[in-house]
Amino acid sequence: MNVERVAELIRELLVEIGEDPDREGLLKTPLRVARAYDYLTSGYKTDPREVINQALFESSVNNMIIARDIEVYSLCEHHMLPFYGRAHIGYIAREKVLGVSKLARLVDVHSRRLQIQERLTAGIAEEIMDAAGARGVGVVMECRHMCMMMRGVQKQNSVMQTSTVLGSFHDDQATREEFLKIIDRRVDW
């Protein structure tokens, strides 16, 4: 992304909405916003396969592996407003397991693009299924959308839930139910 060009556009936007980009509080705003968007959309410049890198490990484990409550921050592609929440990921390994931090990093790569929550959920699941060669994958996301809260219908307590289940999580009801039961369990530390 051309940060300088985006800063120019943000300056123009400030003028269009009736602000003075030369007033003290806004002098550095165009560059700050441009840098923020560079970071918030950095997923376009990141290959998920490179994130996984060498973090696939041989394993004879074939039980369910779950990472729950992974923070998600993304931008809605319709209004470019944030949505945020949690992702819960489960998979059943075949011969390889992913390093646990890579699950969170995959969430970050996919969420740092303009998104809809449905596609984000599916993209994470498909990436894990392909990378790990898993028997099955389940991803559930629970997010609050600022476009629902700040504008439009203004529903402050709405939470959108999406899920994608692949392989054994899709084909076997018992596997799917086990996953959903485990991610619903709350742990107080």
On whether both 104 and 25 belong to a single domain, the answer is: no
- In a domain, residue 189? The reply is no
24 DSSP 8-state letter: G
On whether both 27 and 66 belong to a single domain, the answer is: no
On whether both 27 and 116 belong to a single domain, the answer is: no
- In a domain, residue 100? The reply is yes
CATH number at residue 92: 3.30.1130.10
Residue 45 confidence (pLDDT): 96
d(CA 59, CA 70): 24
Residue 189 confidence (pLDDT): 44
Higher pLDDT, 36 or 62: 36
On the question of pLDDT at 183 being above 70, the answer is yes
Amino acid at 73: Y
Residue 60 confidence (pLDDT): 80
What residues make up the domain containing 109? 48-184
On whether both 102 and 134 belong to a single domain, the answer is: yes
On whether both 22 and 101 belong to a single domain, the answer is: no
Average pLDDT, the chain: 93
On the question of pLDDT at 187 being above 70, the answer is no
- In a domain, residue 75? The reply is yes
**What Cα–Cα distance (Å) separates residue 180 from each residue in 36, 90, 135, 174?**
35, 9, 17, 10
On whether both 15 and 77 belong to a single domain, the answer is: no
Higher pLDDT, 184 or 89: 89
Residue 149 confidence (pLDDT): 93
Determine the 3-state secondary structure of 86 from DSSP.
strand
CATH number at residue 7: 1.10.286.10
On whether both 62 and 151 belong to a single domain, the answer is: yes
Q: How confident is the model at residue 113 (pLDDT cuts 50, 70, 90)?
A: very high
Burial of 134: CB neighbours in 10 Å, binned 0-12, 13-18, 19+: buried
Q: How confident is the model at residue 186 (pLDDT cuts 50, 70, 90)?
A: low
pTM for the predicted model, two decimal places: 0.91
> pLDDT tens digits, residue range 21-44?
999 999 999 999 999 999 999 999
Higher pLDDT, 56 or 45: 45
Domain total in the chain:
2
On whether both 147 and 109 belong to a single domain, the answer is: yes
